[in-house]
Amino acid sequence: MATAKTLPSAQPPRPGVTLDRRVFLTGAGALAAAAFGKLASADGIKLPPLDAPSEKAKPLPRLAEPPEQRLGIAVVGLGHLTLDQIVPAFAASRSTRLVALVSGDRKKAETLAAHTGVEPKRIFDDAGFDRIKDDPAIDAVYIVLPNSMHAEYTVRAAAAGKHVLCEKPMAPTAADCEKMIDACKRADRRLMIAYRIQYEPHNRFVMKAVRDKRFGKIRVIEGFNGQNIGDPGQWRLKRALAGGGALPDIGLYCLDTCRFLLGEEPAWVSGTTFSTPGDARFKEVEETCMFQLGFPSGAVGNFTTSYGTHLSRRYRALGDAGGWIGCDPAFDYSGLAVEQSEVRGGEQLRTKPEIPEKQQFALELDHFAAAVRGKYQPYTPGEEGLQDVRIMEAIYQSARDGRRVELPRVSKLDAFRGRAPDPD
């Protein structure tokens, strides 16, 4: 059994975020209506269309599974992401349900349990975490802890016979990622990394356009992911807990999305890091990282990520046939927008396709449940997370050495991904 550590007491909700029972039971706002609407799309039930054939089709939502048949998940860690996004996602999920909580803050866990229907007997701390083995209601765990704790809790969950969905980045080092993969393979448990962008419809729209060569051969993908981080005492600014600064936390979105759009693996990387002298936030981790990725097809990725700028999250893929496509915002939890520009009839047309928004974490949860039940490799397995960590290690090496770093050549497309998600 792993040596017990104390789970960090999760940060309190942001100002204005309250543990409102209605939020957790309905999934916030419009998602509540979607949950009711699922009842109209059961197999064998058909409703006549309301609009004329000339209008855009509006398919009915798919039917949710009965609660007792859904995959039971224990959420490990009750910080901002869990309270703001993951717990509400269970209301929009068709195939999973929240059955247990794991936290170093018992009072917070009890408060949340009262709002979500989790039974008090299914509240665990570190010392009692391994008891999940004896609870058949818990099929899997969703790890939402500081990065340095991902490996330990994945290994322990696998030893307890539970499947694992783990937040990104997978772990601070490639060696830790390999331990996680090996532990889940030995236990014959599925391991999935929570790369929500690869399931999100706006980014998947861009991916299809890129791979279909709608804008010709992609020459450059450029982007930025930055935010102005606050409290110097938070775990994301502690190297021992985070493993790095802006790059593994938010720069990872640029790296992984670029690989996802192209389906290729970079053949080389180049990186530079910078921190403002005297800024107390960046004593241990980098403030800014600028990096380039070179792909076998000739495409180049050029990205900047920073903890010291005003919020901006965007990218563009630029082709050689009179057009480009991208997202702005690209990496937010909601409000994403696709932009594209192309030449038609001698005119440059810039458009914004309308793509229905979906709860990103619910999409992840439902794909995870399908992979567990189907006993197949999820689309973003541990191997996908390991590849990103290896590339980030090479970017840091490049920044230290001041030179480009060559990577092992990978010729296969989607080399580290599993079975693609089913159409929603």
- Catalytically active residues, by annotation: 168
Sheet holding 347-351, edge to edge: 347-351, 338-344, 323-327, 308-319, 218-228, 300-306, 288-294, 268-274, 405-406
Closest of 265, 253, 415 to residue 327, by C-alpha? 253
Structure tokens at 221: 């993908």
Grouping H, G, I as helix, E, B as strand and the rest as coil, residue 73 is: strand
Residue 194 CB burial class (10 angstroms; 0-12, 13-18, ≥19): buried
Grouping H, G, I as helix, E, B as strand and the rest as coil, residue 305 is: strand
Q: What are phi and psi of 288, to 5 degrees?
A: -135, 140
Instruction: Locate all alpha helices (DSSP H) within 106-164, ordered by sequence.
Output: 106-116, 150-159
Q: Report d(CA 275, CA 288) in Å as an integer.
A: 6
Question: Does the CA dihedral 18-19-22-25 come out positive or negative?
Answer: positive
Structure tokens at 418: 């599993």
Residue-wise DSSP of 236-303: GG-HHHHSSSHIIIIIHHHHHHHHHHH----SEEEEEEE--TT-GGGSSS-SEEEEEEE-TTS-EEEE
Spell out where 59-209 has E strands.
Answer: 71-76, 96-102, 123-124, 140-143, 163-166, 191-193
Residue with tokens 């990205």: 303
Structure tokens at 226: 């930055």
Spell out where 26-154 has E strands.
Answer: 71-76, 96-102, 123-124, 140-143
CB hemisphere CA count around 365 (13 angstroms): 31
